[in-house]
Chain A
Amino acid sequence: MEPQNVREIRALIVRHKRWDKMFAIVGLIAMLVGVMTLFALFLDLAIDGLPRLSWDFFTSFPSRRAGQAGILSAWVGTTLVMLVTALTAVPLGIAAGIYLEEYAPRNWVTDLIEINVSNLAGVPSIVYGLLALGLFVYALDFGQSILSAGLTLALLILPVVIVATREAIRAVPGVIREAAYALGATKWQTVADHVLPYSTGGILTGVIIGLARAIGETAPVITIGALTFIAFLPPAPLKAEAPFLSFDWLFAPFTVMPIQMFNWLSRPEAAFLTNAAAAGVVIIVMTLAMNAFAIWLRYRYRKRIKW
């Protein structure tokens, strides 16, 4: 015969374990809802679109005949726009994050900037489109070009990159910095040799979330004047004669994948819907490829961390 209090404690443990199990089930269901929805959507797209995916689909321009229409101008446009976006948003965002976290004095101005950066992440994308239309397209006279679109999307994802950078930097233990300072390192040496390498993983995650958002954006890109039908490519970045590099492509007219997809979806012929599904598969694969690249990078950086 056990004493009363032992029995009570046993009952308590059983009750708490029950809660544990229940939460595990709830969590599993929550995860499955997300994953299965994504999987079902992708499967649905793939079933409709896969038969259409052929070499020709990637190397053909849009056409009125669904069977001959392709995504050449769209995927080239998306790739170039994303390149401009990444080259602008990543260095700017990381630099801003480092400054706010490591250099900025703690006062109300910094607080104000921090609050604003977080708020900017929630501004609807069309607002960025309107801002960019006035700033990049007209005021700076970049025109309705790849450069304007890339910079617009860079603005759009900048807050995400900044916030992620700061979170990642904050996760680096303070002792690391103190150790560096103790050995006579300057602030910049500490940041460049220790803080940044250790936080690269977290920063890359933020960059990918940002770029994945940018690749699917339609509204701001349409606002600044992306086209729907374009059957030629931007000028090549490499030339046969000196100086071998050309930046004319930055100012070329363009279209992007989501616009092409949306246009096909609104067509009356059912064959265009197949094209839209195929284009959808390509966008998802492009996003997944970007993710895979980031995971690989993160893995390489993780390996070097010795603490």
Chain B
Amino acid sequence: MKFKQLFAAFGVAALVAGALAAQAADKLVKVDGSSTVFPITEAVAEDFQKANKGLKVTVGISGTGGGFKKFCRGEIDIADASRPILKQEMEACNKAGIQYIELPVAYDALTVVINKNNGWLKSITVAELKKMWEPAAQGKIMKWSEINPKWPDAKLALFGAGSDSGTFDYFTEAVNGKAKASRGDYTASEDDNVLVQGVARDKNAIGYFGLAYYVENQDKLKAVAIVEKDGKPAVLPALDTVMNGSYQPLSRPIFIYVNTKSAARPEIKSFVEFYLKQAPTLVKEVKYVPLPDKAYTLAAANFKNGKIGTVFGGVAEVGVRIEDLLKREAKH
């Protein structure tokens, strides 16, 4: 009987599968977390596996928050994070007895972009950005001239990150002074390519996203120079201005967090060392901004000495210098 045989085969297969419920987890480096850090970790993982046959690396995208959740449950070895670990995440890790080493790996520079045909806007102050994006602007600031009378009497078309992204958190923190505080009446998308298209089509548009998306679309978009405070020079986002710290406040360091227990395993140790050594070249290749060379040396030293904890104390900061960060006392 054909069907009987079929059912019997399925039954046997299910039993065998159940009996073999042992998990193979040898020589595997598990990384998960932020989609912003993903391209860098992917590049490092790709080269690391080519250089070390037999060692395997997996990289997931659960977002920074999702990554920390898995990290503090001990499911992964390394968490990709586009912001420092927060208080409740520190507590979760403490409760599970998980200690970690915090390592900055690159800069991500948020870029304010306008349409290619916008000929009148060269620079913008952070105060003007705040006027444009703060929650109070909702439904009120609808024209360019309402922010600065020198600007034309044209409709203001806003494009920005969706509220689930780390980009949104950082931009609102840096511009409006409070993470997640933003007007809601703008075109939001988690997909930066959608924002690129939106700004490229509308002459009166302004938007923000990561530098890499601007670099790849320079034929369609223009970046706006940022004036941090009155009296300071207008600075365009670029490799050198981000690296020397003059592009403020829209550049932020991004991190990996390494579980100290995992770090004792040779394959994790060599992966992290490889990461910090290759970062200057690979970060540039995926269109992010590398840290100054000294920062990578300091980070490697921190990893070697097993400097446990975070230097942020569970709160996000705006406009920090990377060398100072790496020398700070860590908390955990």
Q: Which of B54-62, B147-155, B199-207 contacts A (4 or more CB under 8 A)?
A: B54-62
Is A268 touching B191 in the complex (CB atoms < 8 A)? no
Size category of the B interface is 35 or more
Is B20 touching A268 in the complex (CB atoms < 8 A)? no
The one of B14, B45, B62, B213 that contacts A231, using a Cβ cutoff of 8 Å: B45
Is B46 touching A251 in the complex (CB atoms < 8 A)? no
The one of B41, B49, B58, B192 that contacts A268, using a Cβ cutoff of 8 Å: B192
Cα A88 to Cα B18 in complex, Å, equals 13
Is B39 touching A64 in the complex (CB atoms < 8 A)? yes
A281 within 8 A of B: no
List residues of A whose CB falls within 8 A of some B CB: 61-64, 87-88, 91, 95, 141-145, 147, 192, 196, 222, 225-232, 235, 245, 247-248, 250-253, 263, 265-270, 273
Which positions 1-20 of chain B face chain A at CB distance < 8 Å?
Answer: 1, 3-4, 6-7, 10, 13-14, 16-17, 20
Cα A263 to Cα B191 in complex, Å, equals 10
Which positions 55-93 of chain B face chain A at CB distance < 8 Å?
Answer: 56-62, 70, 75
Closest residue of chain A to B31 (Cβ to Cβ) is A229
Is B285 touching A268 in the complex (CB atoms < 8 A)? no
User: Given that A91-B6, A91-B10 are contacting pairs, would A268 and B59 also be in contact in the complex, using a CB cutoff of 8 Å?
Assistant: no
**Residues of B with C-beta under 8 A to A63:** 46
Q: Which 6 A-B pairs have the closest CB atoms?
A: A229-B59, A268-B216, A64-B43, A268-B213, A227-B60, A247-B20
Closest residue of chain B to A266 (Cβ to Cβ) is B191
**Residues of B with C-beta under 8 A to A265:** 191, 193
B38 within 8 A of A: yes
**Residues of B with C-beta under 8 A to A232:** 49, 56
Distance between B198 CB and nearest chain A CB, rounded to angstroms: 15
The one of B16, B30, B61, B192 that contacts A263, using a Cβ cutoff of 8 Å: B61
Cα A142 to Cα B21 in complex, Å, equals 7
Of A196, A248, A253, chain B has the most CB atoms within 10 Å of the CB of: A253
User: Given that A141-B21, A192-B3, A266-B191 are contacting pairs, would A87 and B49 also be in contact in the complex, using a CB cutoff of 8 Å?
Assistant: no
B23 within 8 A of A: yes
Distance between A86 CB and nearest chain B CB, rounded to angstroms: 11
Is A230 touching B58 in the complex (CB atoms < 8 A)? yes
Is B7 touching A268 in the complex (CB atoms < 8 A)? no
Cα A235 to Cα B56 in complex, Å, equals 13
Of B35, B46, B192, B213, chain A has the most CB atoms within 10 Å of the CB of: B46
